[in-house]
Structure 1
Amino acid sequence: MDWDFTENIAFKALYEAFKDSDETSALEFLSSDGASYYLELTQDAAGEGIDLGDNETMEELQEEIIEYLEKN
């Protein structure tokens, strides 16, 4: 993926909220308390030209976000 989401302000807010939560699963966090942050991040991705209508691209972005949250 050509977009560095880690520099995005919505991702930074998502990351901080995840770290401040008691949740250990990024996927669980994204489907509950982190949903609004994730929505904003995906809207920003679309604004950057990322085609989230393509399931493969959407899955890749989601996997990269989850991996980053759980490893950092």
Structure 2
Amino acid sequence: MDPEVFEYWMMTGLITALVAFMAFIVWDLAKKSKAGRYGTFVLFFALGLGVLGFVIKGIVISGMGN
């Protein structure tokens, strides 16, 4: 297997696993702190913005001719 292909698939899989783990942590934090529906929404919204920023960064970098 080509190292670039391996790196691509590992990066994709590990970033996905990291985001899923962070979602679990946010859910657990919201549950333990009794954040309610609005607080839980705000926590997941902030996590979603971080993930969206990561995705947009990848799109911009790939669009620059890389």
Shorter-chain TM-score: which interval? 0.3 to 0.5
Largest Rg, 1 or 2: 2
TM-score normalised by structure 2 residue count: 0.39
Return the structure number with greater relative CO, CA threshold 8 A, min gap 6: 1
Q: Compare the two structures and name the one with the higher helix fraction.
A: 2
TM-score normalised by structure 1 residue count: 0.37
